[in-house]
Amino acid sequence: MCNTLAKKQRIQGSLYSSMSTRMPFVLSILLLLSLALSACAPGTGILGGGNWQLSGLQHQHIRAFDVDFKNSQLLYAGDAQNGVFVTTDGGQHWVSRSAGLPLPDTLYALSFDATGKKLYIATAKGIFVSADAAQHWNAVGTARAALPADSYTALAFDATAPHTIYAGTAHHGVIVSTNDGNTWSTAGNGLPAAAVINGLVFDSDHHQLWAATALGVYRSDDKGTTWKAFNSGLPPGSVVNIIRVASMSGGPSGLVYAGANHGFFRSTDSGLHWMPSEESLSGTSIRAILVDFRYPSTVYIGTGVGAFRSDDSGQNWGGIGPGLPRGQSVYALNLGASNYSQLFAAVNDVYLYPGASGGISLTRLVPLFLLLLMFYLLYRVAQRGRNRRRNVLKPERISETSSNNAHPTPLTREEKTAPPDIT
């Protein structure tokens, strides 16, 4: 019975030793798997690297992008003088589609309407629209209700009123049409006469129209009827180039971003107070802001010295990847290609990130090799532990067998009654 108890205790000790040895191994495997999975997230982790690569659209002066709502492979790029270019394969090949445009013409903005069926561009010669994927362009407005002669610098659309168009100008403030551009009226009460409109955004959820102007930030809460300045915290003389509302891309309500000639600013109270990023960008002009609708805390900016990314809603900034021309302005940013897997940047030419390097490359093979090496080392440690346990158990079994054989064999009846051998 004592032998049985001792044997049971040895088995329990062996099982406990096995479990205690395997537990760190299992936890390490789970940790590495979670690390690998997090690394596969777009633009993050050790596998999220890549390089900027030239697209098929080169030797141009691209200033604006937009992507088809229903087909992310279909993108449109607006050139500073030479009209519109289109790609149907995620940026690999581009064709010019400018029939009906009075070229050369300076293009300032390019955007789909709220329905995604009509594409509009704002230029120095007016506003133009295409309803057939940029195959043909027509001037907006009628001979009876022509647009005033001006440079048209910005466009915005109300998702709750699909026939409404807001247009920003260089000298006439903001104008609005409620019938697809057939007639227009002014919407600038409260805007200074000298406020050149650089950008417009309509937040349909909160019914707020934002204007980025040469005199700061303005907002209308009544669809352009009246305007108020929202410049508290902005440096004096700030020329605001662009406004983005985070909630329009899935971010928190009240968070608004502003790109100005003195850097990047954010407001968490719908523009009542502005604060610069924790990492100052005051030395550069912000020309483009893109909130990643898949990960709303990720924000991209185009500046006078390149493109940057923030993973904490614009508080801290870092580089995106190598490959962009050094010291050149990034005028526009957008997501496109299959599953919105590419970031497009307009640096005169169009660049893609991570480009073809999103597949196999040296920068991705090195982390993969390190992961495989760690798995192999863990396997070797676990295998060595199992071998050690086997070696420990073998002498015990030999000792047990020897001790069992040490007991004398009981005497038979004949042996017990036989007289002793005295010879």
Judged by DSSP in three states, 108 sits in: strand
Q: What is the CATH number of the domain that holds 333?
A: 2.130.10.10
Is-contact 306 312, C-beta < 8 A?
A: no
In the predicted structure, residue 152 carries a pLDDT above the cut 60: yes
Q: How many Cβ atoms from other residues are within 10 Å of residue 45's Cβ?
A: 15
Euclidean distance between CA atoms 8 and 6, whole angstroms: 5
Contact 321, 52 (CB under 8 A): yes
What one-character-per-residue DSSP string does 311-343 give?
Answer: SSTTSS-EE--S-SPTT----EEEEESGGG-EE
pLDDT of residue 43: 42
User: Each residue of 108-145: pLDDT tens digit?
Assistant: 999 999 999 999 999 999 999 999 999 999 999 866 66
pLDDT at 320 over 90: yes
Reported confidence tier of residue 46, pLDDT bands at 50, 70, 90: very low
User: In the predicted model, what is the mean pLDDT of the chain?
Assistant: 84
Run of H or E residues at 386: helix 362-405
Q: Is the pLDDT of residue 362 over 50?
A: no
**Average of pLDDT values for 87-107?**
96
Instruction: Give the pLDDT confidence of 287-305 residue by residue, as tens digits.
Output: 999 999 999 999 999 999 9
Amino acid identity of 162?
Answer: P
Q: How far apart are CA 114 and CA 123, in angstroms?
A: 20
Model confidence, pTM:
0.75
Question: Residue 6 has what pLDDT?
Answer: 54
Q: What is the DSSP letter of 116?
A: S
Q: What is the largest CA-CA distance in the chain?
A: 146
How far apart (Å, rounded) are the C-alpha atoms in residues 236 and 216? 9
**Per-residue pLDDT reduced to its tens digit, 207-229:** 999 999 999 999 999 999 999 99
**Predicted confidence band at 10 (pLDDT cuts at 50, 70, 90)?**
low
Percentage of the chain lying above the pLDDT 70 cut: 75
Average confidence (pLDDT) over 60-87: 95
Identify whether 347 is part of a domain: yes
Stretch among 13-22, 35-44, 414-423 having the lowest mean pLDDT: 35-44
Higher pLDDT, 37 or 197: 197
Comparing CA positions, the residue from 153, 180, 148 lying closest to residue 164 is 180
Token representation of residue 116: 């995604």
Residue 212 makes CB contacts below 8 A (sequence gap 6+) with 154, 197, 198, 199, 200, 240, 241, 242, 243, 258, 259
Matching residue, tokens 């440079």:
151
Predicted pLDDT at 410: 57
Reply yes or no on whether the pLDDT at 169 is more than 80. Answer: yes
Which among 278, 243, 272 has a CA at the least distance from the CA of 260?
243
Instruction: Identify the residue with better confidence: 340 or 36.
Output: 340
What pLDDT, on a 0 to 100 scale, did the predictor assign at position 401?
47
Q: What is the pLDDT of residue 95?
A: 97
Long-range CB contacts (< 8 A, 24+ apart) of 43-46?
Answer: 43/292, 43/295, 43/298, 43/309, 43/320, 43/343, 44/311, 46/367
Please, what sign has the CA dihedral across residues 291, 167, 94, 55? negative
- pLDDT of 47 reads 35
Q: In this structure, is residue 1 part of a structural domain? A: no
Tokens, residue 377: 């080392």
Q: Which of 270 and 4 is assigned the larger pLDDT?
A: 270
pLDDT at 373 over 60: yes
Kindly state the average pLDDT of the residues 76-84.
Answer: 95
Q: Provide the number of structural domains found in the chain.
A: 1
Checking if the pLDDT of 405 tops 80, the result is no
Looking up tokens 């466009």 gives: 155
Rounded distance between C-alpha atoms, residue 106 and residue 111, angstroms: 15
In whole angstroms, what is the distance from residue 352 CA to residue 76 CA? 14
Task: Identify residue 146 by its one-letter amino acid code.
Answer: A
In a domain, 366, yes or no: no
Task: Assess whether pLDDT exceeds 70 at residue 367.
Answer: no
Q: Are 353 and 52 in contact (CB under 8 A)?
A: yes
Segment 172-186 mean pLDDT: 94
Predicted pLDDT at 374: 74
Residue 15: its pLDDT value, please?
46
Angle at 348 between CA 119 and CA 110, to 5 degrees: 15
Cα 246 versus chain centre, distance: 13
Mean pLDDT of 236-249: 97
Range of the domain at 230: 53-359
406 is a domain residue: no
The answer to whether residue 391 is domain-embedded is no
Average pLDDT over residues 173-197: 93
* 403-412: average pLDDT: 53
**pLDDT band at residue 360 under the 50/70/90 scheme:** very low
Q: pLDDT value at position 1?
A: 53
Query: H or E segment at 422?
Result: none
Domain-embedded: residue 305: yes
Nearest alpha carbon to residue 311 among 330, 292, 334: 292
Q: How far is CA 397 from CA 4, 403, 408, in A?
A: 13, 10, 20
Q: How many residues does the chain have?
A: 423
